[in-house]
Amino acid sequence: MVFKYSVYLFWVVALINLYGLMFYSPLEQIIKPFLIPILSFYYFSGNNRNSAYVMALFFSWFGNVLIMSTEFAMILAGVICFWGMLLLYSYQILKNLSGSLVDQFKKKYAKTIVAICLVYLIIIIGVLYEDLGELVPAISFYGLTLTGTGFLSVMLWLKQKEKTTFALMSGAILMIISGTLLAVKLFAGNNLLIETLMRLSYIVAQFSICFYFKKSTSTL
């Protein structure tokens, strides 16, 4: 029963979480840890079983819990969990692309996509440079992983122009936006608009990526 209606339950919980965030309700902190577990119910309501994606869900959930802390060290630990999640996404996407990682850069449109990703990353790092301080190398490395996942998702969509791969690509792009807003929140300052957009983009990103892993036969 829970699996059957999990997609509706997820969006109800997500909306309650956003409501709690926007109106400073304790519901926000209470509901947030349940988002990824409910999303996992949605995934398991299908027939696909992918161990890499299940592990990515765990990293995502643990990262979510850690960044709820007010301690900077715990938040950074949460970011490391998100980094592990991104590596698992990239690994799985690369498995569905022909050739190695190096081969992807030789394909049509690859140079253009890489250029867009690098320009975006350089701009963000440049804007936050003074606030990042000694963490510039670490955040730059995380940013490369984040945009790299986006690059691979676009390459997969160009190879297989399907609804599932479009959902994956959209989710990866939204994950880049969410990660950017998280960096702004941590190092430049936070406000309700940043927090809301970050949470909304993250929720939609996770659902879109889950849709891909649930529906695509290539993820088996």
Query: 134-147: per-residue pLDDT in tens?
Result: 999 999 999 999 99
The structure's pTM equals 0.93
- 2: DSSP letter: T
Are the C-beta atoms of residues 47 and 29 closer than 8 Å to each other? no
The tokens describing 184, both together, are: 């702004």
Q: Is the pLDDT of residue 66 over 60?
A: yes
Could you give the angle at the alpha carbon of 122 between the alpha carbons of 117 and 127, nearest 5°? 130
Coil, strand, or helix at residue 85?
A: helix
Write out pLDDT tens, residues 78-108. Answer: 999 999 999 999 999 999 998 899 999 999 8
Phi, psi of 25 (to 5 degrees): -95, 145
Residues recorded for the chain: 220
